[in-house]
């Protein structure tokens, strides 16, 4: 043990971290979870889903990316866990699946129990937002691989849906409408470019930016919005035909992913509120507007396809759930291209 500690791995610190995170994990428990933290595998019973004709498991995995560099600079670690959960659960909700459970992975140069506790506090908060249980994870101490004050964070979510209820875009047709749901900011995409343009450091993350109404660091570390509960509620009210999570690749890459072959998503700029951070980056970086749409979410975190006759009720339902929502375009038949601005 002493020799292992001398090599840079502190097993006692790992045990202390587990003790700290237990109460955060407990907050995420839901029916179906079997056992507790500390087992070799997380267990979840599907007994409550026997009513499904053909239950299908949906899974998603992702990390936080270089947004973590902002957390390092600010020494603030209680929100990046929300980002970690958000990217996985927002992906699987695009299939219509209800998230059931989540597992996280933290790799670091040195286990600092209080820091690990803050990270998992954020993960647990994200799980609560998505109503999924945090049933397992791993904290790997890797001295010499990561600096002592840095870490990486990733996770995996698993959800369930009856096959007959899958949202796969197959029912999308000409004339359907695209509904955009507002984002909370940058989410976790484009941070390599953001850091190049804004050069966040201890010297400037505390600077108050009038356009944001908060400091630079607060804006850059704002957690990704989790859309799970809103979309599950929306699915009870309208027929959702397609869902696109606006992640890396922005509008250009992600909206076509929900379309059947032979259809084109036509987006009309100016139909939604572009958040100040995007205008700020565009001006500072002298970036082309189309390029911006190919990198960032531009204020729209999710895009949903519904029939034209259900567009108004979709907007009303989302607004009743506390979301900002906009009609941002439509879908047309087109064998030559799958995306266009109009």
Q: Is residue 54 part of a domain?
A: yes
User: In this structure, are 208 and 328 located in the same domain?
Assistant: yes
- Look at residue 36 in the predicted model and tell me its pLDDT: 74
The residue segments making up the domain with residue 192 are: 177-341
Average predicted confidence (pLDDT) for the chain: 93
Statement: residue 6 has pLDDT above 80: no
- C-alpha dihedral, 122 to 182 to 100 to 320, nearest 10°: 110
Angle between helices 311-320 and 228-235 (to 10 degrees): 140
- The token pair that represents 1 in the structure block: 């043990």
- Spatial neighbors of 302 by CB under 8 A, at least 6 apart, are 90, 180, 181, 227, 231, 243, 244, 245, 246
User: In this structure, are 183 and 108 located in the same domain?
Assistant: no
- Look at residue 39 in the predicted model and tell me its pLDDT: 75
Q: Is residue 172 part of a domain?
A: no
Q: Is residue 316 part of a domain?
A: yes
Q: What pLDDT band is residue 2 in, cutting at 50, 70 and 90? A: low
- Look at residue 147 in the predicted model and tell me its pLDDT: 95
User: In this structure, are 250 and 333 located in the same domain?
Assistant: yes
User: In this structure, are 197 and 325 located in the same domain?
Assistant: yes
Which tens digit of pLDDT belongs to each residue from 155-214?
999 999 999 999 999 999 999 999 999 999 999 999 999 999 999 999 999 999 999 999
Which tens digit of pLDDT belongs to each residue from 42-67?
999 999 999 999 999 999 999 999 99
- Look at residue 92 in the predicted model and tell me its pLDDT: 97
- The neighbouring-strand residues paired with 161 are 56
Q: Is 254 helix (H, G, I), strand (E, B) or coil?
A: helix
d(CA 125, CA 101): 13
- Spatial neighbors of 258 by CB under 8 A, at least 6 apart, are 94, 169, 172, 242, 243, 244, 303, 305
Helices (H), 56-133: 68-74, 80-92, 113-130
Q: Domain holding 85: CATH number?
A: 3.30.1330.10
- The neighbouring-strand residues paired with 300 are 182
d(CA 201, CA 75): 11
Q: How many domains does the chain have?
A: 2
Of 165, 196, 212, the one marking the end of a domain is 165
């Amino acid at each position: 043990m002493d020799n292992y500690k001398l090599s840079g791995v502190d097993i006692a610190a790992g045990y202390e971290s587990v003790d700290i995170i237990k109460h955060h994990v407990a907050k995420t428990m839901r029916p179906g979870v079997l056992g507790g933290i500390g087992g070799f595998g997380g267990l979840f019973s599907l007994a409550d889903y026997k009513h499904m004709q053909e239950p299908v498991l949906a899974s998603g995995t992702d990390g936080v990316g270089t947004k973590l560099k902002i957390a390092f600079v600010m020494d603030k670690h209680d929100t990046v866990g929300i980002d970690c959960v958000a990217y996985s659960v927002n992906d699987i909700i695009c299939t219509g699946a209800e998230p059931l459970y989540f597992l996280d992975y933290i790799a670091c140069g040195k286990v600092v129990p209080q820091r690990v506790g803050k990270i998992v506090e954020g993960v647990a908060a994200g799980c609560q937002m998505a109503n999924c249980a945090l049933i397992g994870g791993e904290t790997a101490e890797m001295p010499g691989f990561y600096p002592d004050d840095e870490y990486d964070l990733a996770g995996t979510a698993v959800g369930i849906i009856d096959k007959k209820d899958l949202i796969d875009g197959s029912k999308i047709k000409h004339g359907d409408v695209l509904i955009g749901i507002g984002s909370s900011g940058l989410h976790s995409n484009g941070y390599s470019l953001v850091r190049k343009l804004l050069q966040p450091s201890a010297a400037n993350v505390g600077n108050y930016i009038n356009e944001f109404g908060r400091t630079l660091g607060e804006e850059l570390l704002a957690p990704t919005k989790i859309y799970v509960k809103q979309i599950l509620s929306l699915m009870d009210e309208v027929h959702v035909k397609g869902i696109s999570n606006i992640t890396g690749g922005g509008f250009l890459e992600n909206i076509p992913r929900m379309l059947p072959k032979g259809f084109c998503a036509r987006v009309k700029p100016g139909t939604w509120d572009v958040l100040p951070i995007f205008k700020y980056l565009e001006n500072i970086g002298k970036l082309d507007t189309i390029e911006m749409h190919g990198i960032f979410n531009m204020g729209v975190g999710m895009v949903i396809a519904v029939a034209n006759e259900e567009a108004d009720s979709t907007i009303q339902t989302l607004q009743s759930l506390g979301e900002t929502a906009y009609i941002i375009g439509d879908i047309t038949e087109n064998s030559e291209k799958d995306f266009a601005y109009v």
